[in-house]
Amino acid sequence: MSDSSRRLHGLEFFLRSQQRPDTKASGIHARILDDVTHVNLRGNSNDAEFNRGVEKVLGQALPVEPNTVSIRESHIYWLGPDEWLVVSKAADSPGLATRLENTLRNIHSSVNDISGGQVTFTLSGENVERVLNKACTIDFDAGTFKPGHCAQSGLAKASVLIGCIEQSRTFELIVRRSFADYVARWLRHAARHHGIEFR
Amino acid sequence: MFLIQCPWCGNRAETEYRYGGEAGISRPKDPDALSDAEWSDYLFYRSNPRGAHKELWNHAQGCRRWFEVERDTVSYKIARSYKLADRNSESGS
Ligand SMILES: [Zn+2]
């Protein structure tokens, strides 16, 4: 992959401004990911041809249940009754939008590569829910927000998409790129009593 | 916390939504045929009832879909919320 096709999160300055990593036992591990492809996909999930085309390219079915994310090779988030977000870290994912476009060419649908507009965080550690619960009206408690669940909501006033992607309480947090620095700073502040380390 | 039920996402806090005004107002098919009074009635005048009110809401920070809510303007109690496609049926909750 050439350098120009890399997808950088743009928070290098934030990471450099980090004080000595805090190593408290109950710490929260935050990762800001590079090279993540985000594709916004719209279409009619009752259209068998649309589903076949999507499955052919992605190798997994679209989640039709609201507030759920399908976690396999890609993470496919339900965004609305006819809208999904495909998040992929695969090496060939920069070509994902083109592959979807080509396959869905004659089917009523829309495919947009929005990778450059979004930033992906992963958050893990036993106190993650408590930090998220501080500034979001969604209840992230393990009993209610289980792996495969997701929600679009507001976190500390920023619009966010949050999914629980692992049994071990790992969350994926997706924000608009222009909000990423703010959200990172909010997380650092809100999690300061638990200890938080960004990578 | 005032909860509104999105027909897709379920109960969410009011802060996730944007209010869209009174529901069921359709644009006149032939605006040229209207008198000024009729046109301004369509543009500006709303029923503003005390009690049951049908209104539009958009789940702005969620699925971004429009839907209708039947809300009591005094008690704020929501009788039902439903998809626009279901507005003529009694279904919805
Ligand atoms: Zn919704």
What distances in angstroms separate CA A74 from CA A8, A107, A199, B48, one per listed residue? 19, 22, 22, 48
Q: Given an 8 Å threshold on Cβ–Cβ distance, is B12 in contact with A153?
A: yes
- Residues of chain A with Cβ-Cβ distance to B5 below 8 Å are none
Residue B53 covered by a domain? yes
pTM for the structure as a whole: 0.93
- Please give the sequence-ordered ranges of beta strands (E in DSSP) within chain A, or none if there are none: 28-32, 37-43, 69-71, 75-80, 83-88, 109-113, 118-124, 150-155, 158-166, 170-176, 196-198
pLDDT over threshold 60, residue B58: yes
Cα angle A166-A126-A163, degrees, rounded to a multiple of 5: 35
- Tell which A residues from 65 to 94 touch B, by Cβ distance under 8 Å: 66-67, 79-81, 83
The one-letter amino acid code at B23 reads A
Q: What value of ipTM does the predicted structure carry?
A: 0.91
Q: Given an 8 Å threshold on Cβ–Cβ distance, is A151 in contact with B16?
A: no
Q: Given an 8 Å threshold on Cβ–Cβ distance, is B9 in contact with A66?
A: yes
- Residues of chain A with Cβ-Cβ distance to B12 below 8 Å are 137, 153
Percent of chain B whose predicted confidence (pLDDT) is above 70 = 96
* A78: region left, alpha or beta (phi > 0 left; psi from -120 to 50 alpha): beta
Q: Where in chain A is the domain with CATH 3.30.1360.120?
A: 7-34+117-198
- Tell which A residues from 109 to 168 touch B, by Cβ distance under 8 Å: 137, 151-154, 159
CATH for A7-34+117-198, options being 3.30.110.70, 3.30.1360.120, 3.40.1780.10, 3.40.50.150 = 3.30.1360.120
Low-confidence ranges of chain A (pLDDT < 50): 1-2
Among candidates A67, A80, A154 on the partner chain, residue whose Cβ is nearest the Cβ of B16: A154
Rounded CA gap, A30 and A152, in Å?
A: 19
Any idea what the CATH number is for the domain that residue B11 is in?
A: 3.30.2270.10
Residue B35 covered by a domain? no
Helices and strands per DSSP (H, E), number in chain B? 1, 6
Q: Is the dihedral of CA A155, A158, A161, A163 positive or negative?
A: negative
Q: In this predicted model, what pLDDT tens digit does every residue of B7-25 receive, in sequence order? A: 999 999 999 999 999 999 9
Q: Where in chain A is the domain with CATH 3.30.70.1520?
A: 37-115
**How many structural domains is chain B composed of?**
1
Indicate the CATH number for domain A37-115. 3.30.70.1520
Tell me the pLDDT of chain B averaged across its residues: 95
Domain that holds residue B74: 3-24+42-86
Q: Are strands A28-32 and A37-43 parallel, antiparallel or unpaired?
A: unpaired
pLDDT over threshold 60, residue B91: no
Residue B66 covered by a domain? yes
